[in-house]
Amino acid sequence: MAGLGYDRRGLALWRAARLIRDRHGGRVPESVEALHALPGVGPYISRAVAAIAFGLPVGAVDVNVRRVIGRIVGGADGLPEADVQAIADQVAATSDPATWTHAVMDFGATVCRPRTPRCAECPVRPSCRFAAECRTGAAPARQAKRPATPFEATNRWLRGRILDRLREAADHDWVALDGAIGTHELDRVHRAATSLAAEGMVELRRPAPTILHARLATG
């Protein structure tokens, strides 16, 4: 599980719980704005909680909802993210937001699927621009996938390896980050460590301008 971002998620959850205790009297806030202000909560999670838990008239847009709305209204080319969000909010406001959110997510996962949409079974087909384009042959050919980036070349892998080194240090000693890690050059190692420090996961010190030491944060 190491290196997959779970440390950061756990830290965000811990910080969010403290903010809920200190700022909101121990109750999860109901507004999208207050939810979005919590650590680790983005536009999707804030709207999903607001709609499903509190019934607020907002539409949570995940990858499935984005695809469904984008296809129905925008066709094969889809829609800009802001337009999808505006439509989702508008539609959710006229119905039960929680039910709407669950329904469209499930619909995108089971019917309006990314590679093999089941258009023949779709109740929205008569109004769907994507289905109309496919019938007339106007839908563009699917673009070839870009080659996947090897995991070892990602920033997530690098952050995980830095944390592994710090965990292995005896007695919480400082660890010198003074060389490349895998295919990541020293400057990128230092940037990743600085990012971890900004998130409160590690502590840093610079004995000299070009030397960086790190250790796991204690508090």
Pull the structure tokens for residue 166: 């710090």
Residue 102 phi/psi, 5-degree rounding, is -60, -45
Helical ranges in 112-174 per DSSP H: 129-136, 155-168
Domains recognised in the chain with CATH numbers: 25-136 (1.10.1670.10), 152-216 (1.10.10.10)
Scanning the structure block, which residue is given the tokens 């996961």?
201
Per the rule left: phi > 0, alpha: psi between -120 and 50, beta: everything else, 138 is alpha
pLDDT (tens digit per residue) in 143-188: 555 666 788 889 889 998 999 999 888 778 899 999 999 999 999 9
Interval 190-219 mean pLDDT: 87
Q: What is the pLDDT of residue 6?
A: 56
Q: Does the pLDDT of residue 1 top 50, yes or no?
A: no
Scanning the structure block, which residue is given the tokens 């929205």?
124
Q: Does the pLDDT of residue 63 top 50, yes or no?
A: yes
pLDDT (tens digit per residue) in 99-153: 999 999 999 999 999 989 999 999 999 999 999 988 765 555 455 556 667 888 8
Mean pLDDT of the chain: 87
Q: Does the pLDDT of residue 194 top 50, yes or no?
A: yes
pLDDT (tens digit per residue) in 42-58: 889 999 999 999 999 99
Q: What is the pLDDT of residue 99?
A: 92
